[in-house]
Structure 1
Amino acid sequence: MAPAEAGRGAVGEPGRGEALDDYSLSRVPEEARYSWISVAVQRFGQVSSFQQFMVGAVLGYGMTFTDAVIAITVGSVMLEAVTILLGVAGVREGLSTSVLARWSGFGRKGSAAVGMLVAFSLAGWFGVQNGVFAQGMHNLAGGVPPWAWALAGGAAVTAVSVFGFNTMAWTAYLTVPAFLLLAGWSVVDTLADHSLGHLVTAAPPGPALSLAEGTTLVAGAFILGALMTPDMTRFNRRPSDVVKQTLLGVTLGEYLIGLTAVLLGHAARTADIVGIITTSSGLLGTLILATAILKINDWNLYSSALATVNSIDVILGRRVGRRTVTLVIGAVGTTLSAAGVMDDFTGFLETIGVLAPPVAGIIIAEYYVVRRFRADLDRARSHGGLPGGIADWMPLSLVCWAAGALTGEYAGIGIPAVNAVVAAFALYAVAGRAAVRRGPRASRTPGTPPPGRSGLPDLPESGMTKTGG
């Protein structure tokens, strides 16, 4: 492979150091890709989690089974569309979400802003879920104080994440089947005394949820995970792998876990179905909780570290190792959860979560519709590098980001997460295509290098195939 073009953030030929760093700032080479099963089991592990149990239980407590099926179907279709489009971009470019954002509408410093949003959000959820794990283990096992469980759980997840994708894949091979078997055993035990036909036709036991409210719960619960899809799919080998693993992971995760929890919500007549499952047996509940937290929280920490590495590279011009960053974030998150302060951040994390959906809409619009940087990405991909230059800021993406977030928050109709994605996508696609039609001179923003169709320096083309548009 030839080295990447000069420019800050450009990375040369991947070597052993890049492999150990999981290619945090460079393309994942073909020889480092994995089978689709290795990636799919981790995607399924993200979706088939306690979060889905809780969402399904809330749906079951406030909706009929039929309405819950509709809500899960609509929410899942939206998630699958976003996940597949972002995932295909990830496998095609071999780049993490935050690095891909540089050439997907945001520019260098814009990608750092995206990275900081993602890093802070996922690091926060890592701490929150570690706190949930600690309190749950304390309630189940007793004796050991919650802070000790938090330290043990955080250290275990951090150790898995530090060693990267390969270790996380093997962890998922163990924890995903274990979680499904243990949770399935508990579910069967809980439903044994209830008629399945009655549960399917029964009225909801709690206050009614509208179809829009139910769909919002389904779509909003996983939108941040959908945004981070390239972090995972950059290790896939082909776009068809992304489609297969998304259909398997999201569909089975949402339907198998979600609808099971709906039935449990009807049977137990409460939304706190997770508590019922985990306390059905001391040892069984302990194992369920441990496997559930481990198989999703490692990705929270992993993606947070990737986003932080990109932000530091852009803002400070320094390259830091993903492993070091993972250790630091893991240590801080673990300490804060052990101190019991992370629960105070849950409301704040949910509030800033409205900023995530528009990012997905902008990346999809730029990569598939506007395509100002696709030719540069294609030429750079032919020799395994990255394009050599990019504007720091792209005002259009900032405007669309704000418009999407405001639409999702204040539209008052429909599904907020869907509204935010669609609004940001539509506005960026229309304005971006109009700028492209006006030509490079009209579409160039202040501070953008003038040469090249996209405002980027022309790359050498000898021996390379120029593709894309």
Structure 2
Amino acid sequence: MAAEADRLDDYALTRVPDEARHSWISVAVQRFGQVSSFQQFLVGAVLGFGMDFTDAVIAITVGSVLLEIITILLGIAGVREGLSVSLLARWSGFGRKGSALVGLLIALSLAGWFGVQNGVFAQGMHDLAGGTPEWVWALVGGAVITAITVYGFTVMAWTAYLTVPAFLVLAGYSIVDALSEHSVGDLVTSAPAGPAMSLAEGTTLVSGAFILGALMTPDMTRFNRRPSDVVKQTLISVTLGEYLIGLTAVLLAHAARTSDIVGIITSSSGVLGTLVLATAILKINDWNLYSSSLGLVNSIDVLCGRRVSRRAVTLVIGAAGTALSAVGIVDNFTDFLETIGVLAPPVAGVIIAEYFVVRRFRAELDRARESGTLPAGGADWMPLSLVCWAAGALVGEYLESGIPAVNAVVTALLLYSVVGKLTAPRRTPPVDHSPPPLAEVNTTQSGG
């Protein structure tokens, strides 16, 4: 009975068993759906509006390398342990109550992203249909995505099989239609139409746009079967998604002289473009809602001592995110990304440092994994993780040199690794319970 309840709840507070794992292609399609989503079009358009093509390529390259490293390391931890990222955080640096803070960060941030994407969907459908208010479309979009996400990973996989190819067709059509009257060579060398954006700002935008996607990687890779699956799907999805979609949007912004990617696509692709645009937004938004629900389920379990249904939590967050989209959170898109760009990376840095470097709890995780259970006990708070989290965020926000997102994750990772190694309790040698040598026994007896 308990096993069936865990299955229906997508193993929100337990390990994903071997029999529930999926082929790497099933997971890879969903990962590619995240990275090649409409969100990347938005980021690429903002880059193209404020940067020339060469600087945009550099920003996307640096941001992508950072994302791939974080994604692969967290993904390997996820597939090994079969745990969501907020649950994994209990034994990866943060402790039980610290993991509740991680869960709340993920839940609140991704609920915001849910609102952003749903607002873009509502805007596009309103522009197409005319009279129907945007808030009505926001309600429709939010309800559809929430219904899909309630049923979990398997239904979301089938959604990806439909929406990812549709989005790629839209991308190809948009390139041909919007760029047909322009020389690609001229667009590559043209100056941006908007205020200049620095390389640091551009890289932070790229990293911030998907840093939560990288952080929530274990939520997805816990359904993989082996670490090599994680490496393959990450290299393919992040590289192709960032470059193919991001640089296409840069060229579109140079051609249209605007960052309004919704207007560019709907004007060039018409009804078909708008409808496929809607499916592309749906593909990223189901995972925003899914990981948000996992994070909140863990937080409630820790802070309130109650195991709540992931499906019920999904319904609540879906309603809240839909309300956010109705009040226009999409208008704060860039500011929102920059904020997340410095808050999320330190969390990934701490988890990676603890799991792969300090390894204070790896023995407990290994023993529990063999029996398919969770480690017993564990600390409520790990003060070092909170200090490293704060230090990474502050360095990312206030250090003027370098790239803020890189500064934040590297600071947290290095600080936790060094201090964690220095303060980790020394392992005591095992007690030898074997009988003493015969000579020693004889000596003792003769002396008695």
Settle same-fold status: TM greater than 0.5.
yes
SS in 1 for 2:219: helix
Q: 1:69 aligns with which of 26, 49, 57?
A: 57
Deviation at 1:352, TM superposition (A): 5.5
Query: Which residue pairs with 1:7 in the alignment?
Result: none
* CA–CA separation in structure 2 for the residues paired with 1:135 and 1:207: 24
Q: What does residue 266 of structure 2 align with? A: 278
1:398 aligned onto 2:386: yes
* Per-residue Cα deviation, 1:246-285 (whole angstroms, up to 9, x for no partner): 0111000001001111221222222223321122243123
Instruction: State the one-letter code of the partner of 2:281.
Output: I
Change (3 A) 1:289 1:78: same
> Over alpha carbons, which structure has the higher Rg?
2
Aligned residues of 2:49 and 2:192 also touching (Cα < 8 A): yes
Q: How many residues align?
A: 429
Q: Distance in 2 between matches of 1:55 and 1:172?
A: 21
Within 5 A, what are the aligned runs for 1:131-146?
Answer: 131-146=119-134
C-alpha separation between the residues in 1 aligned to 2:409 and 2:284? 24
**Paired residue for 1:408?**
396
> For residues 264-312 of structure 1, what are the alpha-carbon distances to aligned partners after superposition, in whole Å with 9 as ceiling and x for unaligned?
1222222223321122243123213211210001011100100011011
Partner deviation per Cα, 1:401-420 (whole Å, 9 max, x = no partner) = 11011011101111111111
Gaps of 5+ in 2: 431-448
Q: Which moved more, 1:350-359 or 1:259-268?
A: 350-359
Task: Give me the identity figure in percent.
Answer: 77
| Other-structure match for 1:88 | 76
Cα distance in 2 for residues equivalent to 1:239 and 1:182: 32
Q: CA deviation at 1:353?
A: 5.3
**Partner residue in 2 for 1:8:** none
The code of the aligned residue for 2:233 comes to Q
Matched residue type, 1:386:
L
Query: Normalising by the residue count of structure 1, what TM-score does the alignment of the two structures yield?
Result: 0.87
SS of residue in 2 equivalent to 1:393: coil
Alignment-derived partner of residue 460 in structure 1: none
Residue 154 of structure 1 pairs with residue 174 of structure 2: no
1:48 matched to 2:23: no
Query: Are residue 439 (structure 1) and residue 426 (structure 2) matched?
Result: yes
| Local SS of the residue matching 1:15 | helix
CA contact (8 A) 2:150 2:315 kept: yes
For normalisation by structure 2, the TM-score amounts to: 0.91
Classify 1:37/1:15 alpha carbon distance in 2 versus 1 (closer, same or farther; 3 Å).
Answer: same
Do structure 1's residue 389 and structure 2's residue 377 form an aligned pair? yes
Change over 3 Å in CA distance of 1:252–1:350 after alignment to 2: same
CA distance in 2, matches of 1:207, 1:350: 17
Secondary structure at the aligned position of 1:28 is classed as coil
Aligned to 1:268: 256
Partner of 1:213: 201
Once the two structures are superposed, residues 213-263 of structure 1 have per-residue CA deviations (whole angstroms, 9 ceiling, x without a partner) of 322221121111110000001000100110011011100000100111122
Preserved CA contact (<8 Å) 1:95 1:230: yes
> How far apart are residue 327 of structure 1 and its match?
1.1
In structure 1, give the amino acid aligned to 2:111. A
Residue 410 (structure 2) aligned to one of 422, 425, 428: 422
Q: What RMSD in Å do the two structures reach over aligned CA positions?
A: 2.0
Deviates more, 1:361-370 or 1:272-281: 272-281
Offset, 1:349: 7.5
For residue 111 of structure 1, the aligned residue among 71, 88, 99 is: 99
What residue in structure 1 maps to residue 13 of structure 2?
25
Instruction: Decide whether the 8 Å contact of 1:124 with 1:345 is kept in 2.
Output: no
Q: Which residue of 2 aligns with 1:79?
A: 67
Query: 1:228: which partner in 2?
Result: 216
Kindly report which structure 2 residues correspond to 1:251-400, keeping only aligned pairs within 5 A, or say none: 251-338=239-326, 340=327, 342-343=329-330, 347=335, 351=339, 354-400=342-388
Which residue identity does 1:439 align to in structure 2?
A: R
Q: Give the corresponding residue for 1:240.
A: 228
CA shift, 1:63, in A, is 2.7
Indicate the larger mover: 48-57 or 370-379.
48-57
